Structure 1
């Protein structure tokens, strides 16, 4: 059994709650510019405060570039992924990783009371697990060598 390494809320406390988003009415070109500007792989698509989808680099390559569509003429609403898998802050990191693996996604919006409170990537969660494991190893080494936990 895997020992719990924390919750999605713990990850968000560490990484921050910043969410990058676009309106469904912007062009794909504008969304790609924002991906590059913010150095992220996905943007939430928000209609006001309502999450209506997610737009990723994968959506662009598969639904625009490979189909010969124009990114300057295609609206995000035409190609966004509407079926968005979400987590809550109370989900464990392991639950988040499981959701991402089962649904073959790389970004997980975090929603509480129907409001987006953050987003985590698979990289965020893997880095969190690695960090937690490193801390556990240090504590065990300290214990074995007669040191006291810090």
Structure 2
């Protein structure tokens, strides 16, 4: 069986809980990734931050509620992207990250990883040795492993 250690990415994008979100955005663009594992100074997994977390912060609406003589009126947050992007420059990773992270060990089989991803509707799972980050399995890594297996089977039947 194929295991996490055989398909995981070892060069994982990592950030720290007190990093600002705009730095994470820059990291995503620079590394062409959509997530970063949040670790402490000992490389212990503390969370994960994804492009989805950042998108949710950008599109988050804060309605303004006004009471005109007991008539409640709510106005939407019509702030433009530049203002929202500026707000990200003061926001910390720990304010947006997912804290309850599903992790797997290096010996976890690929089918179990795929099941966890489907069940929890997630796109990547950090791989740990103890509590320490050693890699990341993305959906793409699983698809690539499946493609390799299919190709191998086709070559065996020819």
Equivalent residue for 1:114, pick from 131, 136, 153: 131
Quick one: distance in 2 between partners of 1:10 and 1:117? 12
1:4-15 mapped onto 2 (5 Å cutoff): 4=1, 6-12=2-8
Quick one: distance in 2 between partners of 1:114 and 1:50? 5
More strand by share: 2
Equivalent residue, structure 1, for 2:35? 42
Q: Secondary structure of 2:127's match?
A: strand
TM-score normalised to the size of structure 1?
0.84
Equivalent residue for 2:103, pick from 57, 70, 86: 86
For structure 2, the residue ranges without an aligned partner over 5 or more in a row are 62-83
Moved over 3 A (4+): none
Quick one: distance in 2 between partners of 1:50 and 1:127? 28
Quick one: distance in 2 between partners of 1:47 and 1:88? 19
Higher relative contact order at CA 8 Å, sep ≥6: structure 1 or structure 2? 2
Larger radius of gyration: 2
Equivalent residue, structure 2, for 1:77? 94
For structure 1, the residue ranges without an aligned partner over 5 or more in a row are 142-150
Q: What's the CA shift for 1:140?
A: 2.0
Equivalent residue for 2:47, pick from 42, 50, 53: 53
Count of paired positions: 133
RMSD of equivalent CA atoms:
1.3
Q: What's the CA shift for 1:136?
A: 1.5
Q: What's the CA shift for 1:120?
A: 1.3
